[in-house]
Amino acid sequence: MEHGAHGEGGGKGRRRERAVEPAAAQNERPVAEESQDPMELAIQLAKRSARQGGGPFGAVVVQDGVILASGANAVAVSSDPTAHAEIVAIRAAARVLGTHDLSGCEIFSSCEPCPMCLGAIYWARIKRVWYACDREDAAAAGFEDEFFYDELARKPSKRRIPMQRVLRKKGLKAFQIWLANPDRQTY
């Protein structure tokens, strides 16, 4: 299947299907001799994105040794600050599998995931992360991953972005409704 095509849901990952965000797909062309090695492919995607003026990041989600989905950074092309390569690949893999639970999957990223993507990886229950470059390499290229990691380690009152609590009692009502709902879908 040509890269950039959407994997159909229900494939259960036995076929080599790829899926990417629609906005990114519009600007994608097939990678010449696309690697079947997940990390090699992640790096290919990162290089292609960089050549096209996009963020130099690529990611691939694998299940049982089969490539399920891939993604390149699409922040600028889709005007989406959350469209990091790992997020794009996770969303595509979840569509392929038809579930938010990627607990059987591994992710290969051309760079150590930033805190946002690492959070998404935990939420998706991905079992292992492989990465090529690290946060210091990203910092040398002008990306603030390391600063964000430093910020997370600070107390909320010490962060650059002010964080203030208001209306806690009213906010708790949503949890009360959640806990009282026997049909709630846990994730």
Binding of Zn ion by 117 (CB under 5 A): yes
Binding part of the chain for Zn ion, among 4-12, 71-79, 82-90, 167-175 by CB under 5 A, reads: 82-90
With respect to Zn ion, which residue has the nearer C-beta, 84 or 135?
84
Rounded to the nearest whole angstrom, what is the least distance from the CB of residue 91 to Zn ion in the complex? 13
With respect to Zn ion, which residue has the nearer C-beta, 17 or 73?
73
User: Among this protein's residues, is 86 annotated catalytic?
Assistant: yes
Sheet-wide strand order for 58-63: 66-72, 58-63, 105-111, 128-133
Binding part of the chain for Zn ion, among 65-73, 106-114, 146-154, 171-179 by CB under 5 A, reads: 106-114
Binding part of the chain for Zn ion, among 3-11, 76-84, 124-132, 134-142 by CB under 5 A, reads: 76-84
What is the residue type of 102?
L
Binding of Zn ion by 90 (CB under 5 A): no
With respect to Zn ion, which residue has the nearer C-beta, 84 or 95?
84
Binding of Zn ion by 84 (CB under 5 A): yes
* H helix or E strand, kind and range, residue 35: none
With respect to Zn ion, which residue has the nearer C-beta, 66 or 143?
143
Q: How many residues bind Zn ion (CB under 5 A)?
A: 4
Binding of Zn ion by 114 (CB under 5 A): yes
Q: Which of 17, 21, 28, 86 is catalytic?
A: 86
Q: What is the 3-state secondary structure (H, E, C) of the chain?
A: CCCCCCCCCCCCCCCCCCCCCHHHHCCCCCCCCCCCCHHHHHHHHHHHHHHCCCCCCEEEEEECCEEEEEEECCCCCCCCCCCCHHHHHHHHHHHHHCCCCCCCEEEEEEECCCHHHHHHHHHHCCCEEEEEECHHHHHHCCCCHHHHHHHHHCCHHHCCCCCCCCCHHHHHHHHHHHHHCCCCCCC
**Which residues are catalytically annotated?**
86
Which positions touch Zn ion (CB under 5 A)?
A: 84, 114, 116-117
